[in-house]
């Protein structure tokens, strides 16, 4: 960043831009980065707003956008400096958030594996039939469920889909008539 741009910023904004340097960002945790991101975003929005308003006023005075452009250079540079600072903070925040999410996921998986005991979340049980907590000699899990005899195994053709939709709509109309009584 040019020193002239840094000098054109207010003292508060200069400190804010310097806080976004890499060595300063590395020492911040996720919450501090979120707070810094919000502050930089507010400052950037302020300078962008000032630039746009000034440019609009100058266009009215000069009658052309090209004629108004050189007078807005300093405002444009300030907004760009804060945009760069915001990008640095955003990248660092994304990195820290990704690391935090990975750590939390690993912690959650570790807690789930220790709480469940055995893989698959089964706890207790010796696997010996007749033993306390063991498996019985009965049918496998889900074997005594009724078969899905009512399932329609016919292919879903466009005509069949249309008929089903028409039937559902007719039912909705009937229900609406009953509800309106």
Q: Per residue in 101-146, pLDDT tens? A: 999 999 999 998 887 655 554 444 455 555 555 455 555 555 555 5
User: Taking the model in full, what pTM does it have?
Assistant: 0.56
Percentage of the chain exceeding pLDDT 90: 35
Distance, CA of 130 to CA of 2 (rounded, Å): 80
Which residue shows structure tokens 């707070």?
35
CA angle (178 as vertex; 172, 181 as ends), nearest 5:
140
The reported pLDDT for the residue numbered 128 is: 52
């Amino acid at each position: 960043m040019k020193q002239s741009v840094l000098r054109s910023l207010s003292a508060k904004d200069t400190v804010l831009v310097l806080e976004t340097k890499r060595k300063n960002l590395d020492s911040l945790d996720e919450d501090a980065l979120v707070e810094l991101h919000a502050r930089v975003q507010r400052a950037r929005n302020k300078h962008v707003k000032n630039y746009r308003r000034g440019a609009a006023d100058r266009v009215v005075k000069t009658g052309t956008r090209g004629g108004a452009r050189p007078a807005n250079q300093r405002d444009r540079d300030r907004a760009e400096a804060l945009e760069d600072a915001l990008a640095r903070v955003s990248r660092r925040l994304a990195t820290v958030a990704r690391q935090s999410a990975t750590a939390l996921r690993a912690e959650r998986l570790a807690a789930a594996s220790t709480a469940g005991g055995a893989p698959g979340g089964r706890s207790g049980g010796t696997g010996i039939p007749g033993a306390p907590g063991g498996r019985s000699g009965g049918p496998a899990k889900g074997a005594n469920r009724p078969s899905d005899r009512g399932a329609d195994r016919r292919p879903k053709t466009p005509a069949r889909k249309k008929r089903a939709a028409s039937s559902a709509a007719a039912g909705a109309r009937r229900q609406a008539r009953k509800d309106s009584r």
